[in-house]
Amino acid sequence: MKTIEVKVISILWPRIGTDNPRNWYRLECLTESGVQICVGSVKWRPTENELLILTGDFEAWKGQRNFKFSEARPNVPANPRAQLSYVVERTRGMGPATEAAIWDKLGDGWRKLSPKEAEALKIRPDVYEMFKQQLDSLVRDKEKCDAISYLIGRGCSNALACAAWEAWETDAVGIVNSDCYRLADLSGFGFADVDGKVRLSYDIGDEDPRRIKAAIIYAMRQLTGSGSTVISWVELIQKLGELKINLQLAQAAVGAMFDDFTLRGFPASQMVALGCHYDAETDILNYLKGEK
């Protein structure tokens, strides 16, 4: 596997408005060795002049050498002058001369460029507004870059880290730090994606209550995935055994989950359901009965 830094020149596929359920992109990119076609999945739609770090391998496709990446993450420069260059490149109507003028006037404080200062530098009002928008985008990209890098450092795969950002944005790091098993709630991921490097990076042991609860919810979702919303207690115990969960601790955790209605139990039949499924079916039943 190779890691390369690229700047997006253009998006060759998909065109704007085209359905893209797999988030698959064909990008024309500038690399240190020249222009390169890069293909792979990106959780967000890239933009022209965006900087990315791609991990993958070179491959031949229809006689053309492409870089097929399995991971993509934003690459925001840390140096203030490089950040100014990044923003100017993405602002139509600005170029190297304007960049140099802004830096000469404000230096590290270039982010505080005011309308009056822009006017003095002969920057058109519409271009100045676009500049401010790209500055906001830089801040956003930097937050995204920092959050994704942090989560990868905590043992998340790039895909899982990107999914966490897409779901929670600036709250992602706080949510994961409070309970890393929240990552298992993300679409396309589950208990196994967290129950390894991620939970170990948070010093969560085998018998940690967060792990036990997450395993129970994961097991319930697996067992009800085929359509049934109620399963037997025996099935749940068997599934938790497969996950190597301490069954005594699991039994205590289930009791607490009955108390807060995360789970619903049916003692007479020794059956159990997720609280969200129980509530949904109750709402449907009440609706059919004409109840409010």
**What pLDDT digit, counting tens, does each position of 65-121 carry?**
999 999 888 898 889 999 999 999 999 999 999 999 999 999 999 999 999 999 999
Whole-number Å distance between alpha carbons of 158 and 152: 6
pLDDT band at 202 (very low <50, low <70, confident <90, very high): very high
pLDDT value, residue 170: 92
* Half-sphere exposure (Cβ direction) of 154: Cα atoms closer than 13 Å: 27
Res 199 pLDDT > 70? yes
pLDDT value, residue 284: 74
pLDDT value, residue 47: 87
Share of the chain above pLDDT 90, in %: 70
Q: Are 138 and 87 spatial neighbours (Cβ–Cβ below 8 Å)? A: yes
For residue 125, whether the previous peptide bond is cis, meaning omega lies within 30 degrees of 0, is no
Res 56 pLDDT > 90? yes
pLDDT value, residue 291: 56
- Cβ-count burial 94-121 (b if 16+ within 10 Å, e if not): beeebbebbbeebeeebeebeeebbeeb
What letter does residue 70 receive in the DSSP assignment? E
What six digits make up the tokens of 83? 């950040």
Whole-number Å distance between alpha carbons of 14 and 19: 8
Distances (CA, A) of 8 to 17, 31, 140, 175: 19, 9, 18, 31
Whole-number Å distance between alpha carbons of 102 and 85: 10
Higher pLDDT, 280 or 53: 53
Distances (CA, A) of 243 to 130, 207, 213, 247, 250: 53, 12, 12, 10, 11
pTM for this model (two decimals): 0.74
pLDDT value, residue 80: 94
Per-residue pLDDT averaged across 199-211, rounded?
94
pLDDT value, residue 211: 93
Per-residue pLDDT averaged across 255-260, rounded?
92
pLDDT band at 225 (very low <50, low <70, confident <90, very high): confident
Share of the chain above pLDDT 70, in %: 99
Average pLDDT score, the chain: 92
pLDDT band at 228 (very low <50, low <70, confident <90, very high): confident
132-189: pLDDT as tens digits: 999 998 998 899 999 999 999 999 998 899 899 999 999 999 999 999 999 998 988 9
Q: Are 158 and 121 spatial neighbours (Cβ–Cβ below 8 Å)? A: no
Higher pLDDT, 170 or 292: 170
First-to-final CA distance of the chain: 58
- 23 three-state secondary structure: coil
pLDDT value, residue 200: 95
